[in-house]
Amino acid sequence: MRIVEDKDYWEVISKSSNIIVQLSADWCGPCRLLTPVLSSVAADNGIDAIKVNIDNNPRIVEKYKVRSIPRILFVKDGLVEEELVGNQNRAKLEAVCKEVYER
């Protein structure tokens, strides 16, 4: 999973029609558990995935009004279509991917 900073975020989002964004922090245990699962789900479904460290990217935190992590944004054609907060299991992540990206 690629790590993206404020300066590159909007360009990355605009260049990918389907992308999953994980908003997290290095100190967050649930975030560390979620990363490999989310990365695998994205790869299995042919979806790009990026990770944003909330401690280093205040503009993104402000834009999405992040209050809890991990937070997962399912972005299609530049728009957030769905989001989840907290650690999620593989089945839930796959279900949301199908719902968002197969419409």
pLDDT of residue 88: 96
Residue with tokens 């029609």: 17
The residues, ordered by sequence, that sit 6+ positions from 34 with a Cβ below 8 Å of its Cβ are 22, 24, 70, 72, 87, 88
Cβ partners under 8 Å of residue 1, min gap 6:
22, 35, 38, 39, 42, 49, 50, 51
Number of domains within the chain: 1
Residues labelled as active-site residues = 28, 31
pLDDT for position 36 = 97
Per-residue pLDDT tens digits for 43-52: 999 999 999 9
Q: Which domain holds residue 40?
A: 2-101
In this structure, what CATH number is given to the domain that contains residue 72?
Answer: 3.40.30.10
For residues 67-92, give the mean pLDDT. 96
19 phi, psi to nearest 5 deg: -150, 145
Residue 103 has pLDDT above 90, yes or no: no
CA distances for 87 relative to 46, 72, 79, 98, angstroms: 21, 9, 22, 19
Phi, psi dihedral angles at 30 (to 5 degrees): -60, -35
